[in-house]
Structure 1
Amino acid sequence: MPDPIEQLFAGLRAETLPTVRPPGTEPLRRAVRRRRAVTSAAAAVTVLTLAALIAVIRPDSGRPVATPPTYSGAVLTERITSLLKLDDPQRAGLSQILLDTGSGMPESRRPVLGGTYEIRMVCFGSGTLEVMLGTAVRPILCPADGASWTAATVVPEPGGPLTVRPIPRDGGPGPAGFGYVADLTQADKTRWQEAATEALGPTRDEAVASGSFFASDGGEGYDHRTVGAGRYRVRAICLGFGTARIFAGLGNGEQSPEKQTTVQCSPDTPRTASLIISASTEGVGYYVEPSSDADHRAAVATVLERL
């Protein structure tokens, strides 16, 4: 049976030894406690900072989100037509409206006479585009109130494609509409009119009247001459693309033309078309009416000859 005195000393040792520390350990324990306190404070600051950052990046999810605008194809077309100031969209020459309702926009590529073209572009809706003019690319915005830009591009001689390719880069919250109007510079129009006159060639008969014009905005060439009795011939040639109709008759030739024919336009191998009419003393009238496909893409020269 254990001695009661030994049991008493054993219990005393068990209570006392855990609290006995070697010399020099107390400063180390205080340093450890300080490091733990600093680490805990730094962790608290980090948590607060992250919470604030998340609050900035992700605002209150309960805040209502604005509904993106939606535009039908008819609304986009009407708005672009207004921004381009097209009086008659059906006869607007070198213009086109391209819509993006989610599947991208098509490329516009039309053969035209060579020269420098000034292109006015508009965009309405949302998002951004990159527009390729020939080989040059420029970015444009499509704001809800519409925006416009003007740029120039050169088409090589005697003719080639006028390429306008809008490329959506950021679809934005809704669809967008893009449109453009292209016009040959006045200097190049004059140059092509002179080329058409030269292509018509000299007359072997008596020239009564002659002229030239550039087909634009539905314009047409018209002339009326008071002449003596005799036979007369109207000749016309068209440099460019599309067709043109020639009308000729007695009097002013416009109300009830006696004859008509069609001249085919070509940028490099044009052919002359002609009409012959017999007149007394009441005069001869004639006019040339380009097709809508020739608008802004053809130059016409005419001559009235007495046979």
Structure 2
Amino acid sequence: MTDQLEELFAGMRAEVIREIKSPGTDAAHRTVRRRRTTGAVSAAVAALVAIGVVVGLTGLPRTSTLPADPATLAETARRALHESTGGTALFEAAAPVTADYSAAQTAYYGAITLHLACAGTGKITLLVEAREHDAAPYKEIARVDANCSADPEPTSTTFGFDWVSDQVVLRLADPGTSAGQAGFAYRATSDTGKPYPARPLYFGVPNRDSSLISPEILKSLMHRSGQGVFGNHKTIGGNVKPTSILSRGGMPDGEYRLLLVCLGSGTVTFELHHKEKLLFRTEMRCGSPAVQQEFPIGRIADANAQGKLSDVHLGHRSDSPGLALVSWAMFDVA
């Protein structure tokens, strides 16, 4: 840069010297000299400024943009979910993207929508896994993908269960380059309010407190009944033809009614077989919150005769995976 400046000033001096004339034309020559000297100095200053700018730009050290803290990115993803998703939250979480992320959450009856967002770089896949019983291996029942970015765009998928499972496990598939470079958040919702949590099985039967018929309702049925109330509950899922689930004898003769309650997805079929013949059949759409309806069964006679007497059959059908918890109570009208 020093050599360039010396050349500029040397040229300027030579040009000024060439303009010196003999006396006699002083006024005109002074004017020309001023103008050319001013122009040469201006050019030199402009060149100096230009050189200084180049040096300033090329001389500064370059810095790379470091990735944001994954925990901060997880919070960014969480905010994106809350701004774009509605419904009742069943469970939610936010965390940095890691290769070994896994978390257990409560399972619910009915359709569940899982929302996912990712802030940072790369792409992630969140798996939903469940098992049919404690000794069974976990298997995938749903998955959802999301691209990671500075402005996360939430994605979603809807799933349900074909069997009873008291919990689900959410796990990240191999995150690749997103590990340590991104944060994610997920949120499970229900459009129909918070559904009933699934209960663990004991010898294939839900816990005693899984009945949807409250003690208060049962008490009112007892007051209406002349000789007693007979009922039970069962979890059912998938597409199942009506099959026998309960046989009993000793139901007193009388005019009977049915209280049927169903929580979850799909349509439940209830059949009552008496003396090996179909006596009563009805269907009811399940829902969340639970749907409750009362039906007239009709008269049951010769109930105390020997042989197979009253036999309850339950069936279920659904266009999508999903469980239903069914409770029923049969009572004679006093």
Give the TM interval when normalised to the shorter protein.
Answer: 0.3 to 0.5
TM-score between the two structures when normalised by the length of structure 2 = 0.37
